[in-house]
Amino acid sequence: MAEQGYSSPKILYPDWQQEYQAALLELDPQKLLGRIADAEAAIFKRFQIISRSPNHEAERHAIEDALASLRTLKTEILAFLIGKRSSHAAAG
C-alpha cells in the first residue's frame, strides 16, 4: 500500500523526464554530474524532435524549466565540490 501524503511526480514527458528526475534525486555527488549529463542529452534529443512542430509549446516550456534547474544544480554541486577541495587543502 502506498504511504499516505506521498505521491511520485507525474511524468508527462517520458522521453526525458525520467532522466531529469533521476538527476534531481541523485544524492551521490560522484554520480550526479553523470545523471545531469544524461538528462541534458535526453532533453536535447527530444527538443530536436519537437522543435520542428508548433504543437509542443507546453513541453518546450517544461524543457526550459528543466534546463534552468539542471544549470542551477550543476552550479551548486560544482561550488560544493570546489569548496570541499578548498577546505581539504586548507586543513592539510
| Mean per-residue pLDDT pooled into runs of 10, the chain (92 residues) | 54 95 89 94 96 90 96 86 68 60
First to last CA, the chain: 50
pLDDT at 79: 80
**Is 23:35 a contact under the CB 8 Å cutoff?**
yes
pLDDT at 62: 96
Cα distances (Å, whole numbers) of residue 24 to 38, 50, 87, 90:
12, 23, 26, 31
Residue 31 is which amino acid? K
Domain coordinates in residue numbering, the chain: 17-91
- E strands, the chain, where? none
* Calpha distance 84→60 (Å, rounded): 36
